[in-house]
Every structure is written in C-alpha cells, then in structure tokens.
Structure 1
Amino acid sequence: MKAEEHLGSGGTPEEDFECQIYVAAPSRDRLMERLAAALHVSLDADHMMTFGCVDVEWTHNDYEGTGARDDSPFLNWHSLLMCQPHHGAASTAFVSDTATILEALRGAGYRAVPVCDYEELLPESGIDHLRSDSAATRRSSRVAAPT
C-alpha cells in the first residue's frame, strides 16, 4: 500500500503524522550521537536533529517503570524519539525518512518500535519486530554445538 492511499489527505503532516519511536536505550546523549552518525547528519546543541523532512527529538518515555504488559514491553523502555514531519512534506517522503531513521536505529544495535498511524508502512513495525527478534534468538540458541 502506498503512503498516500493509507494516509489519505486528511490533516496536515505536522498535526496528524508524528511518529513516536520507543527505543531500548538508557542514554540520550549516546543514542542521539549514534543515530546522527548513522544518518550522517549533525546534532544541534539541544540534541535534536533533522533527517530529510523529519525533525527528531529525544524525550524520556513517561511510561517507563509503570509495568507494561507482556504484549507491549517497549512501553518500559527509557527513550522515546518524537519524529515530526516538516510542514507541507509529502507523505511518501516522511514515511520513507521515518523508515530510514528506524532502520538506522536498528542497524546501530538498538531495539526500536514505532507507534504511529502509518507504522504498518515501516519495516518490521510494532510489536511484530520484537516477536521476530525473540524468535530468531530462540532459534539460534537451539542450534546444536558441533561435535
């Protein structure tokens, strides 16, 4: 499904299409520095960055420590990235840029789960990404040692 078909034309990107990415990262500075390096962008003094048509800002996840359910363990993670598309950005552009940010996080070794109206357009979105990671870990731990 294309971004335009999924998102429609309602609202402006800055009002409706913010994406929150929960990240298993205990340190704001290290997370933002590694993400900026992976995306080849600069980090401003407030530890904010812009990638393509998306502004990225770190905030503390207020749900951390509240006892998230087993089906949503990412709600207990410390870091939350707020990804806000620029005014007038095309939906295909901000979905693509958000996907690149998500892939950069995962490529840097972070567990990351997006929560937004278009998460199914992003690579291995939502809780399914965690399930596939857990399944892969279980499969690799069952491989017999060579004799």
Structure 2
Amino acid sequence: MINASPYVFRWLESDQDIDSAFDLMHELRNELTRDTFVLTVRAIASTNGYRLVGGFSDAKLISLAGVHHNHGLSRGSHLRVDDLVVTKACRGGGAGRAMLQFVAREAKRLGIPALLLDARDEAKPFYSKLGFAYRHSTPCAVLVDQLLA
C-alpha cells in the first residue's frame, strides 16, 4: 500500500477486492456484468499480467486503473494503462493525476520507461495536461467477423 496524500493506492488482488471495484469500473465499462467481472479480470490477468490498482480517499474506492507491462517493436517497453476511471463525484479533484503518478512510480520501480494508453476524445485534454502526447497513429479496431465477411 502506498500513500500519496490524500490518496492511498493498493493493488486489488483478492476476488473480494476485485469484486468491490465492479461498481466503479461499471461507470466506465457499462457493458460489464457483475456475475462475470472477477472471472473476466482473472482471465485477462492470466494472459497478459493485467492488474487492477485502486485509489482510496477516506477508505472509499474513488479511482481504478488496469495496468500491464507490454513490449513491442514500435513502442518498446511500456506500462499499458487500461480502464482508468475516477468516480464522477471526485473528478477534477486530482484523483486521476494521483493515480497516473502512482502508475508512473510503479513503472519506474520496474525499469519501464513509458506509459501508454488510449484516450476517449473527452479525456484527451486531461491527458495532454499531464504530458501525454500522440507519438504513433491512433490504434484502430475491427471486429473479426466483420473483416472476414
């Protein structure tokens, strides 16, 4: 557990911890269902090392981020930040910045030189203020069945 006043950050490792994060994650990923949430997080973790970190204020979970280490030819070694969310009531108060600073400290501790994330259009100004910049083309996606049709 790390304290970056006024927030406390800790890895959510038990099934109970992961389940307790569902309501906050659902604010960002409303397609998720509670009955499969823990199993889904565990499945992703087993394939790429995904971990959830929770940010707490007064012992209440107010922010989450899913992270995993990635290494590729085009982007090199980086800590991938997925699923960053701050509860609506706490947005604009520094919790998102504090979460990313926690993740950056973790990357530095692991010897990983960069963070990488995808941003929704409405979140881009927030990330830009923190120094995030587009260094490569924006990732694109297609459904496999659509491509094979």
Shorter-chain TM-score tier = 0.3 to 0.5
TM-score, scaled to structure 2: 0.38
Question: Which structure has more strand as a fraction of its residues?
Answer: 2
Q: Which has the higher contact order (CA 8 A, sep 6+)?
A: 1
Report the structure number with the largest CA radius of gyration. Answer: 1
TM-score, scaled to structure 1: 0.39
